[in-house]
Structure 1
Amino acid sequence: MKSPGLFRLFGLLLGAAAACGGGSNQPIESGTGGAGGSEPDGSGGASSAGGADAQPGAGGAGGAGGQAEATWPTGCAEQPASIRTEGTLVELAFELVLGGEPFLFGEPNVAPDGSTVTPLNVRFYVSHAALIGADGDLVPVDIVGPDGAPTPYGVHFYNAEDPGSAALRLRAPAGSYEGVSFIWGLHQACNSSRPETSVAPLAEASQMTWPHTGHLFLRYEGNVAPPDEGDPVDPEGETATVPPAVHMGGNLVEDLAPRVEVRGALSVPASGSTGKVVRIVMDEVFAGATADVDMTGFVPPPGPVGDELLAGERLRRGLPDRTVFTFGP
């Protein structure tokens, strides 16, 4: 049995190989660079116009002695600095749906193709959340707990077995927005953290650790039973492809975590709180996990590669063309 250190070495070597031959399918997160100051809001920095390759959290484009737009804290501190000290609580309630109906955890659900799907494990991370301005710019916000303090590592962990994890809480500035954006998974600093020395939700108890690649971003597992008539088919008559498992992740070298959007009007009042339901459309998850996607440049981890890993990579690569997250009514 290989030690975690050896697995990590394998991951580094494989990640480096992927960086050389990964092709153009890697998601790229744009940012505004510049020599921002050391304060969480980027104040105090020398004036500088950031280049197109600047990374989020690397400092704002602050003028001399002035203030830049808020950015996400760099690194992966257990107690991250707040992006802003004041703001309104925005509570987003995650809800799984399949075929337009609630996708009940641990219970049989009838899929559109007639098969019966029983979800047994649904977990994912959310990090680097933002509101979408009218001009399309991202306004970084804090991910906070019920007490209003930033969550450990600035990360939210959804676990379908824990109803309390369904609420993603954000501390946001007042205004009118076009939606919400977030990394569906972990930004690279947290993805490359060591689970054995981390606390929840990045600890090994999360069931999301992947010794060769850091952490899983999404873990789905379930049972699929065909309809009484025989083999499951979809509405077009093709063989159904509801996967029994989807494991989406990245690696220890490249930042492969996808950024997703939830589009729709969102008004944040100046005080109090507000909220919305965010539906996770499992039809889109399953369709993405079974789609015919170009896998050029994919470097598998050491050892056997299961179907769940390939399903996760297909989903990750195809996310730009899918609407997995939507606002509920």
Structure 2
Amino acid sequence: MKRMISLLALLAGTATAAPLTLNLSLLDGDKPFFYHNALTLPGGQSVNVQDVRLYVSNVALIKADGTGVPVPGLTLAKLEKGTPPQNVEIFKGEAPEGEYRGVRFDVGLPREVNHRDATTARSPLSIEDGMYWAWNSGYIFFSVRGKTSVNGAEKDVVFHVGGDNHRLTVNLADLQKPGTALKVTPSGASVPVTLNLAGLFVRGVNGEAWDLIQPKYQQVHMGAVSDQLAFNAQSVFGK
């Protein structure tokens, strides 16, 4: 009997799991972004965005003491033209009920996942998901595709970020502010996240403008321009 009482007490002290979702809304600067409006770059040029994709992994809820409570799961978020780019579910998992200061997650994949054999992987890591660099043995972590006009001609533009050194940790937990920013109830919680697309192009390599007339800024995969894109991405997520 004593052993049963101890077991019940232990179970009673364990927080039950509840559904947790991250819901993403795209921005153009401080305004909501919609596909029927061209994205305006800081230099005045524009991009007709067609497709935004990103891997979300290593999700954790942040407690008052700054420690993280992992929320297992890995997803590939796809925000495509023809679907509303506001309040889109990009991650769904289960988290312990309780009060938290916020959430933290990675845009990208853990190293051990990034270098798996994609030919045998299932979605969202399969080759059919369109986020694998066969020539570079790794995944594209973050992708924006669209069209722009260069000297009167329409050009396809592709902006990719990948590579182990470009995995981005997004921290949406402010430990300096008093009070609780996030509460997971028995019915769960939905966490709003924003992504400012214009902020991706705030500057080019060595501080120059992100100039879509230059081919290096039209097709971005690796190298210095991709490094700069990854750096710019550190400031584009919010809540």
Q: When the two structures are superposed, what TM-score results if normalisation uses the length of structure 1?
A: 0.53
Deviations 1:147-173 (A, max 9, x none): xxxxxxx31111112859931223112
**Structure ranking higher in strand proportion:** 2
Return the offset for 1:124: 0.9
What SS does structure 1 have at the residue aligned with 2:146?
Answer: strand
- Which amino acid in structure 2 is aligned with residue 260 of structure 1? V
Corresponding position of 2:67: 137
Once residues 230 and 44 of structure 2 are traced to their aligned partners in structure 1, the CA distance between those partners, rounded to angstroms, is 26
Once residues 231 and 80 of structure 2 are traced to their aligned partners in structure 1, the CA distance between those partners, rounded to angstroms, is 27
Return the offset for 1:266: 3.2
Once residues 117 and 256 of structure 1 are traced to their aligned partners in structure 2, the CA distance between those partners, rounded to angstroms, is 24
% identity of equivalent residues: 26
CA contact (8 A) 1:184 1:217 kept: yes
What is the CA RMSD across the aligned residues, in angstroms?
A: 3.2
Measured at CA, do residues 284 and 135 of structure 1 come closer, stay the same or move farther in structure 2, by a change above 3 Å? farther
Return the offset for 1:89: 1.5
Measured at CA, do residues 313 and 109 of structure 1 come closer, stay the same or move farther in structure 2, by a change above 3 Å? closer
What SS does structure 2 have at the residue aligned with 1:198?
Answer: coil
Once residues 183 and 121 of structure 1 are traced to their aligned partners in structure 2, the CA distance between those partners, rounded to angstroms, is 20
Corresponding position of 2:227: 313
CA contact (8 A) 2:199 2:232 kept: no
Alignment of 1:210-249 (within 5 A): 210-211=133-134, 212-225=136-149, 244-249=157-162
Return the offset for 1:91: 1.9
Alignment pair present for 1:171 and 2:124: no
Measured at CA, do residues 313 and 111 of structure 1 come closer, stay the same or move farther in structure 2, by a change above 3 Å? closer
- The alignment of Structure 1 onto Structure 2 pairs a total of residues equal to 201
CA contact (8 A) 1:105 1:160 kept: no
CA contact (8 A) 2:42 2:202 kept: no
Measured at CA, do residues 313 and 172 of structure 1 come closer, stay the same or move farther in structure 2, by a change above 3 Å? same
Q: Work out which structure has the larger RCO, using CA pairs closer than 8 Å and 6 or more positions apart in sequence.
A: 2
What SS does structure 1 have at the residue aligned with 2:170?
Answer: strand
Return the offset for 1:107: 4.8
Deviations 1:289-315 (A, max 9, x none): x2538xxxxxxxxxxxx5442333223
292, 295, 300: which one aligns with 2:206: 292
- Which amino acid in structure 1 is aligned with residue 171 of structure 2? E
Corresponding position of 1:261: 171
Deviations 1:156-192 (A, max 9, x none): 1111128599312231122222221111111112111
Once residues 307 and 109 of structure 1 are traced to their aligned partners in structure 2, the CA distance between those partners, rounded to angstroms, is 17
Alignment pair present for 1:120 and 2:71: no
70, 75, 78: which one aligns with 1:159: 78
What SS does structure 2 have at the residue aligned with 1:316?
Answer: helix
Measured at CA, do residues 257 and 135 of structure 1 come closer, stay the same or move farther in structure 2, by a change above 3 Å? same
Once residues 235 and 99 of structure 2 are traced to their aligned partners in structure 1, the CA distance between those partners, rounded to angstroms, is 22
What SS does structure 1 have at the residue aligned with 2:181?
Answer: strand
Corresponding position of 1:32: none
- Which amino acid in structure 2 is aligned with residue 87 of structure 1? A
194, 197, 202: which one aligns with 1:282: 197
CA contact (8 A) 2:61 2:68 kept: yes
CA contact (8 A) 2:49 2:147 kept: yes
Deviations 1:33-79 (A, max 9, x none): xxxxxxxxxxxxxxxxxxxxxxxxxxxxxxxxxxxxxxxxxxxxxxx
Once residues 225 and 133 of structure 1 are traced to their aligned partners in structure 2, the CA distance between those partners, rounded to angstroms, is 47
Once residues 244 and 261 of structure 1 are traced to their aligned partners in structure 2, the CA distance between those partners, rounded to angstroms, is 29
Q: Which runs of 5+ in 2 are unaligned?
A: 1-13, 151-155, 175-179, 208-218
What SS does structure 2 have at the residue aligned with 1:195?
Answer: coil
